[in-house]
Each structure stands twice: as C-alpha cells, then as structure tokens.
Structure 1
Amino acid sequence: MVAYWKLRYAFRRYAPEKQKVLLNQTIDGLKRLRAHIAAAMPIRTAGQTLLLGTWNIRNFDDNRFGNGPRLDETFFYLAEVISAFDIIAVQEICEDLAPFERLMETVGPEHDYIITDVTIGDAGNRERLGFIYNRNKVHFTGVAGELVLPFDKQISDVTKKRQFARTPFSCSFQSAWFKFNFATVHIYFGEDGLTTPEFKRRVAEIDSVADFVAKRAREDKTTAHILVGDFNIDAFDAPTFDALAKHGFEVFKNKEGSNSTQTKFYDQISFMPEAGQVSLANAESGKAHGVLNVFHDVFRPEDFGIHRDAVIETLDRKIRVANDEIARLQKTVDTPGANAEKVEKARKKIAAQQETIAELNSLKADEPRLGEFYEKEWRTYQISDHFPLFVELNIDFAAGYLDKLKNGDTIIS
C-alpha cells in the first residue's frame, strides 16, 4: 500500500495555505487515479493470478533536459501506479538513486526492487533497468544477470562489433506455482527511417535479445520466459516487431499505443510459449492486458491552470541556465590574447543561447503555446512519455497437478 501518511509532510516547505492547496490537489489526483486503476486493470488476487507490467519512466530523475525536477505530488502518482502491480519492470532509471529510493519509500515497505548499475557509453545514457515487486506475492529466487552477447553474436554495424546500447537485465522469480525468468530491455532508438544505420541497429538489438532469450527458453522447459520493455517498436507490421516475432515470441498485442499520444507501440510484453505456462487470466473480462493512460487522471489538459506556475518556473530555470552559460562563454571572449578560433566558437554559442532565451520568453508570453508545451513536453517529464503496460497471468496450477497425480503420471515405483 502506498505510504499515504507521507502526504502530511510532503509539502511542508511551502506556506500553510499553499500546503493545503497542494495536499487537496494531490488527494484529488490520487482518488481519480485509484478509480481508473480499479476500472481499467484486473483486481489483484492472493494466489490465483499475477499482475505483471512494464514501464519506461522517462529520465527518472536527473533533470538533464531541464524540464523537471519532478514535483512532490508526482512521486505519489508514480507510487500509486507501481503499487497496482505484483511485479513491474522499469526502464530509464538514472544514475542518482536518491529519487528512486524516495519513490520506493512512497510505494511502501511491501515492495522491494532489483536494479542494475548504470550502462556506460553515450548510447546507454547512464541508465538503469530493474524490477519492482510486491514481496507478499512474488519472491526473487536468486538468479540475476545482465545479458551479454558472445563475440560471434555481437551486433554488427559494419565498422565494429557491438554489445547492446543498454544491457538487458534478467532475473528469476516465483509467485505461487509460477516460476518465471523475467527479462527487460530498453532498445536503442537512434534515428527513424527504415534505411538509416540507427534503425538497422535497433532491429539488430531486438533480434539479438530475442534470439538470446529464446535459446534459454528452449533449454529450460520448467520455467516460463517473459521478455518485456521499451523495444521502440513503431507498429506491429514493422521490421522491429518482426525481429521479435521471428524467434517465436508471442506478444500481448494492445489496441492502443503506449507512448504519450498512444500512436506508437514502443513497449511490449512478450513470452515464449513452449513451456505452456504463460496464459491469460480472465481473458473474457476484456481487461486482462492493456495500457494505463495516466494522463486521464493527473496532469490532464484541464489541469494546466493548476500547474501553470510550475511550468513557468521550469522555463525560468532554463533561462537562468542559458544566462549562466552566456556568462561562462563571455569570459573566453573577453580574455586578452584568447585564441581567435575559440573566441569565434564562443560567440556562436552565445548567439545560440540568446536565441534560446528569446524563444523561452516568447513561449512564456503566449498562453496557447504555453498550454501546448505543458501537454506535449512538460508533463511527460513529470509522469512519462510512455504509459505502463499490464497483463494478468494465471499462476495457480494446482488443478492440473492434482489431475496428474490422479492419473498416476507422477507415481514413484
């Protein structure tokens, strides 16, 4: 259960009247979110089903792009969503773990996590992958590892052999009768376009991780193998999806996209069917799997007025950063005897920063554009530019086991 008691102290840095406004605002958002989760997602059970998910929580939470940091209330909304799952894979957790630890404290003591170290290299963005799970329902069975390709299986981009941009992560878990190997990815994106080298690398990464996990699944028939994450798959008829499907993975196909405009199918939950252990629970309910659009409940378009001051603060911070950069560059320009080439580069950068400041001030003064910025950009750094995917699986195999015993299939002679 979410640590709602923290709401009493969450806004104490503000004046009393502001505290009251923020508290009520957050409570209203949580109530809408709770009602939406109850209506859209399956009801969790004690031992019959497993509610499993995946979520790319955008750039959580180093504010490298200057659109944050996340508000105090945001941590409660994120915690509400995470606590709705028995186990959820998460991507884009950043190097500084303090915000993540704060989030976990808000999710509550019933939940635990396993998370990787940061991925080194420009393409990896120093991100982490991990799993958050409810210890009352799921337990980690002791095996964890990053998926590293053998040299002869590494991804080729003609000039060199590569590992994954962000190393996939895999752990073993059990819930009731259900033993499963849970792997998560954040596939390289690069540039769009079916013929670009970056797109080909994206397809190659999906192909490599699917091949890797599929081989493990064929060697281990006793454990279910589930592969989830941000695959950067545009659509189900795209080469990126084909790279996943050709290795035998079945996908819980959602009708709605998982990006913030729900036009792309970047995120996927897939499994290897050989073990015969992965099956939808309550498929007839119509909500055994799907996408949870969090913006139906919090940071809605109609909430722009509530968050307008925070949006303006974000733009003001960007302006201050640009002014600080101009001041730093101006020192090079003003240094007697400075290298002429360096001075010219500094002047060009100053001009670029001045254009940025002018654009930000123009945005602040244009209310319709400001509202558009809030919807398309700012709020995605509060919640995410991805929505969580969920699936409900059967985990009670007692009836089948008892039938085998009755038929004498497991009699020891």
Structure 2
Amino acid sequence: MPYYYPLKKDKDISRRTRTIEGLQRIRKQLKDEKFPRKKEADSLILGTWNLRNFDDDRFNFGPRMTESFYYIAEIISHFDVIAIQEICYDLWPLKRLMRILGNDYDYIVTDVTHSSLGGNEERLGFIYNKKKVDFTGIAGEIVLPPKMMISKETEHKRQFSRTPFGVDFQSGWFKFFFSTVHIYFGSNSPSSAKYKRRVQEIEAVAKYLAQEAKKNIESNNQSNTNYILVGDFNIKKEGSAGFNALKENGFEVVTNNKGSNSDQTKFYDQISFMSKKNELKLLQPHRKDRVFQFFNSVFREEEDYETYKPIMKERIAEKLEYAEEMLAKATNQNDRDKYSGQIKSLKAARKTDVSLKAYYKKWRTFQVSDHLPLWIEIEINFTDKYLEKIKNFNPDQNL
C-alpha cells in the first residue's frame, strides 16, 4: 500500500485535509465501481496509463503539486503491473512517485526517444508489484527489421517515432511478454499522410509481435506464450483503421463503452492480447467499463474549482513574472516569441472567471493526466488444470 506517513507531517492543515479527502474519494470510487481487489494467488490486475508529460512542465501548466503524486500513487497501487507512457527525461518525478508507492513496487523504463524523431524525449515503461510479478530478466525496445520498416510519405522507410518497449514477466503460472506503445498522432484526418503514418505504426508493431508470438507457439517455446500489447495508440474509435490494424493482425482487443481521454470521447488507449490455446483468460470477460474516471473524485470540474482558484492565480502570477523577466533578457527572436506567447496566454487565462475556469479544465490534466487508466483482470492460477493434465501422464513417453 502507498506510504502516506509524510501527510501526517504536513503543517498546512487545509492542504493535508484536501489531499486525504481526495484519496478517500478515489478509494470509495474504486470500491463503488467494483474495481477488482487484489488476489494474491488467483488473478493479475494489469493496466495502461498515459501520465501526461510526467513531469517537466514544458507546456507551462505544471509542475504537479504534491497531492497530485499521492492521487496517482493511490490509483497505481490498485494494479499489480501497469504500463506507463509519457515519462519525461528527468526521472526524479518518477522516483518521487515510487517513494510513495513503497518498497513493494519497482519500475523499468526506456531511454528517451529524441524529439528529432518525433518522440518528444519521452520514455515508456512499467511499474509492477515485486510481490506479485517477477521480471524474468528479458527486456528490449522493438526495432523493426528492414523489410518491416514503416513507409514514409515518400519512398523512404522509418522506425517508430517512439520505440515500443517490451518486458518478459511472470505472475503465478502466467507468463507474458508485456509491450507498450505511444503511437505517433499526426492528424485526425483519415485522408492525410500523417494519419496514415499513425495506422502504419500500429500495423507494424502488431504484425511484428504477431510474428514473434507465432514463432514461439510453433516452436513450443514456453517462455513467451502470451503477448499483451497496450498503450496510447491514438485510436479514434472501434472500427477505425487503427483499431482494425490490431484485429487484422490477430490481436484480441478489450473493448470499452467509454473513451479513455479526459472527457471520454476518444478511444486512444487500448489493451490487446494474443495467447496460446486461449491461455489468457479474462475475469469478468463481458464487462465494458474498464476505464477509471478519476476526475469524479479529484480536481472535480464544479466542486473543486473554487478550492484551486487561488492556487492557480498564484501560479499564473509566478509564471507571468518569470516570463516577463526572461523576455527582457531574450537575445534572439525565437526566445522573444516563446515568452511573448506565454505572457499573452497567462494574461488571457486570468482575465475573467470564465477564462480561468477554461484554464482549470486544462490545468488539472497536467496535475493528473488527460488520459484515464485502463485495466483488465487475468486468471493466473492454473493448478487445477495442470494436475488434471498430468494425472494420466506416462513418463515413458518422453524417453
């Protein structure tokens, strides 16, 4: 469970109370929505979450407050293993989150994908409960062989904008190769080359992993019999080209009746899988509400606006002062344009209560995220099946 002792020492009673009440609402919401409870030997709770720009404040809406780290940690603590996207170059915020999660949890992340490749200097990774999930020692970024490289707008070929990441895990009897992606966004216009590039990236990672899965299954390799592919695919909706690219390459996609962006209108994030002889068994297979809308509990649109209004005003004033100082020191046009733009945006945000409310809706997504976590629960105890299988086994058959 998360390490909440430091909250006790917070001398700001208002902040401490606000944080604790937010945590209590999250916990109650998870219980009310029948989020699966952890079962030591029987099931695995697995998920994916794009933690928006975690956490370098490049978009000038942050950084995250201490209470936001507690909210994120509380949510993650209900998972046994979760893929995370948009971890930034500086790992200090992630390490701060891990301190709250406590010693039972660990993480594995990639190096950054540089912005020159369209990767925005982001990392991909996994956070997992060491008491429940074993890292087998195999991890790697997915690099496409020449014949599978992605077509660009011209005849040139390319790798992914952000290199997908895969790790071999085991939980109980269940062995799985867990891969995560953050697919290139580009454009939402289906006729555009940038949208086609997005679909091509999804096709490429699905095809590559499908071939690896088939190779392992045909060779009876017991180390990787289940492939789970999750992440931010920037898929618009079920039935779109990106969604179909997963299914057409043999992946079973876990569908939800609501989207995973903050207002739940887009289906950007997905969980999909391919398994040997249907070894991957979902618990509650017909459930369609595996998206957790945390804004029902924290940074609520109506109930919490007045609470955060003075905090936002203070932060805007600090950022405005800094931007004005930097503009005065700027020696090139790019910097002058950058800080002039920040000053204009910040002044517009605080101009009226209506504009500040609009700012709040965006600001809160940089405190938690503009994506919502997705989850599935998987059966991991195959003891009864194994005993039945070996009951009539003849050892001489292997001689």
Match in the other structure for 1:188: 184
Equivalences for 1:72-151 in 2 at 5 Å?
72-122=66-116, 123-151=118-146
Q: Structure 1 residue aligned with 2:375, among 373, 380, 390?
A: 390
Give the superposition deviation at 1:365.
Answer: 2.9
Q: In 2 relative to 1, CA 194–67 (structure 1 residues): closer, same or farther, beyond 3 Å?
A: same
Match in the other structure for 2:151: 156
Give the superposition deviation at 1:372.
Answer: 2.1
Q: In 2 relative to 1, CA 126–253 (structure 1 residues): closer, same or farther, beyond 3 Å?
A: same
| 2:390 paired with 1:405 | yes
Match in the other structure for 1:294: 294
Match in the other structure for 1:366: 352
Q: 1:66, 1:317 within 8 Å by CA — same for their partners in 2?
A: no
| 2:298 paired with 1:305 | no
1:68-113 deviations in whole A, cap 9, x for unaligned? Answer: 0000111100000111000000000000001110000011111011
Q: Structure 2 residue aligned with 1:240, among 239, 242, 246?
A: 242
Runs of 4+ aligned structure 1 residues displaced above 6 Å come to none
Counterpart CA distance in 1 for 2:347 and 2:149 is: 48
Give the superposition deviation at 1:312.
Answer: 1.5
Per the normalisation by structure 1, the TM-score is 0.89
Give the superposition deviation at 1:393.
Answer: 0.6
1:276-312 deviations in whole A, cap 9, x for unaligned? Answer: 211111446x47x600011011000110111112222
Q: In 2 relative to 1, CA 144–362 (structure 1 residues): closer, same or farther, beyond 3 Å?
A: closer
Give the superposition deviation at 1:6.
Answer: 2.0
Amino acid in the other structure paired with 2:245: A
155-164 or 200-209, which moves further after superposition? 155-164
Amino acid in the other structure paired with 1:207: E
1:236-279 deviations in whole A, cap 9, x for unaligned? Answer: 12111111111010011011100001000000000014442111
Tell me the SS of whatever aligns to 1:291: coil
Identity of aligned residues (%): 46
Match in the other structure for 2:28: 35
1:160-219 deviations in whole A, cap 9, x for unaligned? Answer: 221100000000000000000000000010122111121111011000000011011111
1:8-41 deviations in whole A, cap 9, x for unaligned? Answer: 24x4xxxx4xx11100110000000011122321
Q: In 2 relative to 1, CA 312–410 (structure 1 residues): closer, same or farther, beyond 3 Å?
A: farther
Amino acid in the other structure paired with 2:54: F
Equivalences for 1:227-266 in 2 at 5 Å?
227-266=229-268
**Aligned length in residues:** 388
Q: In 2 relative to 1, CA 355–200 (structure 1 residues): closer, same or farther, beyond 3 Å?
A: closer
1:307-357 deviations in whole A, cap 9, x for unaligned? Answer: 11222233224423431343134x56xxxxxxxxxxxx57xx857855653
Q: In 2 relative to 1, CA 202–355 (structure 1 residues): closer, same or farther, beyond 3 Å?
A: closer
C-alpha RMSD of the superposition: 1.9
Match in the other structure for 1:67: 61
Amino acid in the other structure paired with 1:227: L
1:385-409 deviations in whole A, cap 9, x for unaligned? Answer: 0000000011111111111122437
Counterpart CA distance in 2 for 1:314 and 1:33 is: 26
Unaligned regions of 5+ residues in structure 1, if any?
Answer: 333-344
Q: 1:250, 1:273 within 8 Å by CA — same for their partners in 2?
A: no
199-208 or 359-368, which moves further after superposition? 359-368
Counterpart CA distance in 2 for 1:93 and 1:198 is: 24
Q: 2:348, 2:355 within 8 Å by CA — same for their partners in 1?
A: no
Tell me the SS of whatever aligns to 1:141: strand
Amino acid in the other structure paired with 1:367: D
Per the normalisation by structure 2, the TM-score is 0.92
Counterpart CA distance in 2 for 1:143 and 1:233 is: 29
